Amino acid sequence: MSNAIHHIAVPANEPVMSYAPGSPERKALKEALHEAKSKEIELPAFINGKRILEGEKVSAHPPHEHKHTLGNFYRGTKEHVHQAIDAALGAKESWAATPWHERAAVFLRAADLLAGPFRAKMNAATMLAQSKNAFQAEIDAVAELCDFFRFNAYFLQEIYREQPLHSPRGIWNKLEYRPLEGFVLAITPFNFTSIAANLPAAPALCGNTVVWKPAETQIYSAVVIMELFEAAGLPPGVINLIYTDGPVVGDIVFKHRDFAGLHFTGSTGVFQQLWKEIGNNITTYRSYPRIVGETGGKDFIVAYKDADPVQVAVACLRGAFEFQGQKCSAASRAYISASIWPAVKERLLADMKTLKMGSVEDFGNFINAVIDERSFDKIAKYIDGEKANPKAEIIAGGGYDKSEGYFIEPTVIVSTDPKSTTMCEEIFGPVLTLYVYDDADWEKTLELVDNTSPYALTGAVFATDRNVIDQATKALANAAGNFYVNDKPTGAVVGQQPFGGARGSGTNDKAGSALNLTRWISPRLIKENFNPPVDYRYPFLG
């Protein structure tokens, strides 16, 4: 039995590979893409370490090539939910009793496997199933996920180090950090493979066992994640991956006595409904469930009159159109000072003319497809609405075509109405709406930015004058959980920019930091008295 005090060094962020022409990583990724497209595979659920191929058969297709079939998954039943819960509860005692450094070792090993032999496979899965270009897949499915695994292990160690500040002579005060009592449900989105993996992995690292329900459009890469966990030595039953419809899962999970927590990323409406269901069943549970959620955003860029127009234009393009605007942090509304607008417009339109759109297999394409037909139709409806709006002008893009894939041109709208539909509502697609304000209306514009949206996820200010930057930072204190100065509002890095927002954007529990992990542990204080009293009488009684 080891009695060593194990130490995890401060991690470094996983380097992002370039995939430049002629590079070995580009060659390996091309081969992985070819391999994945050359065959249809079965995509099993994973319950208690067993691969399950039961239920309604559903095919998976690349969003950019929807006539091609990558494989088939099987939509689960109520029985699969019960089996997954039983598996999680069955694995609970053993996993919770596993020394923390052994749990950490699983995820540290997963990071190294992902950075090595799984790298091309994970990237290829994310590119094909979620229509991400090579760079967007690399920063998500490999670099960020490696960082989640490594930094979370380090953060957990630092949490465990926190002990009571004082133990007087004769007393020993100790804190131990238990997992939650029960199982955790992880509900994950399509847009980030790293989020899909981290939402079940973070509670599991803390000693919890998990039922994981992914978005159907992310199942292809979710299977690779489970293969990675298995290769890293994760015991059966710790994380159980199921494909049952969300309402069916919720109806069973949220009525279960041992439901202990929800780790969620998705839409605000769904999150609020789940919260209501949990509240309605609160007397059912053994303990108060932890509810952690990151939801929508209507993220902004606001540029002052002394901002660099080129920097603003590049931030608008990257912030709004990388991964087709399907990031919860994507810039979808911008407020540009009238004095710099002509220069911003000139650079933005010039750059947009160079954007190529098409399949992820062509590495020259900056823009790929949106995730599915439902999303395509929703975004197209917003664009058509602005085409008919006399207060709006589409100055770039506006086209769309779903004959081969769900392609929507990056679209820039200039609106004279700062409360127009596309300035206020979350679109989750490649649509940026700009409002040009008079220089004299700077302070009013800050109020407008703060009050336009119910969300508060990310935002950015561009300015040179330090007093102006300070003014904006204070005025927008509650408008964004991640606030950027002279940078686009996307691309948070684990260990550098803990991610999350408040208001309608979630519980702001900051993924990529120790703050998130504290939600998956339940501390116990142990006070030990080495010399207990033998007389009840206190001195004041004398």
The three state secondary structure string of 331-379 is EEEEEEECCCHHHHHHHHHHHHCCCCECCCCCCCCCECCCCCHHHHHHH
Q: Residue 59 in contact with residue 72, Cβ under 8 Å?
A: yes
* Nearest in space to 199 (alpha carbons), one of 266, 252, 139, 116: 266
Which pLDDT band holds residue 145 (cuts at 50, 70, 90)?
A: very high
Report the 10 Å Cβ neighbour count for 138: 25
pLDDT tens-digit map of 365-407:
999 999 999 999 999 999 999 999 999 999 999 999 999 999 9
Distance from C-alpha of 101 to C-alpha of 105, rounded to nearest angstrom = 6
pTM: 0.97
The catalytic residues are 294, 328
Q: Is the dihedral of CA 107, 109, 112, 118 positive or negative?
A: negative
Q: What is the mean pLDDT of residues 502-524?
A: 97
Which pLDDT band holds residue 143 (cuts at 50, 70, 90)?
A: very high
CB burial of 498-527 (b: ≥16 within 10 Å; e: otherwise) equals bbbbebbbbbbbbbbbbebbbbbbbeeeee
Whether 7 shows a pLDDT value over 90: the answer reads yes
pLDDT tens-digit map of 228-252:
999 999 999 999 999 999 999 999 9
Whether 1 shows a pLDDT value over 70: the answer reads no
* Nearest in space to 196 (alpha carbons), one of 206, 204, 205, 186: 186
Whether 2 shows a pLDDT value over 90: the answer reads no
pLDDT of residue 177: 97
Distance from C-alpha of 94 to C-alpha of 208, rounded to nearest angstrom = 10
Q: What is the mean pLDDT of residues 68-76?
A: 97
pLDDT tens-digit map of 330-345:
999 999 999 999 999 9
* Nearest in space to 366 (alpha carbons), one of 184, 522, 134, 528: 134
Question: Which of 26-30, 156-160, 272-276, 538-542 bottoms out in mean pLDDT, i.e. has the lowest?
Answer: 538-542
pLDDT of residue 542: 85
How far, in whole angstroms, is CA 199 from its chain's centroid? 8
Whether 319 shows a pLDDT value over 90: the answer reads yes
How far, in whole angstroms, is CA 525 from its chain's centroid? 33
CB burial of 354-378 (b: ≥16 within 10 Å; e: otherwise) equals ebebbbbbebebbbbbbbbeebbee
Q: What is the mean pLDDT of residues 495-501?
A: 97
pLDDT of residue 27: 98
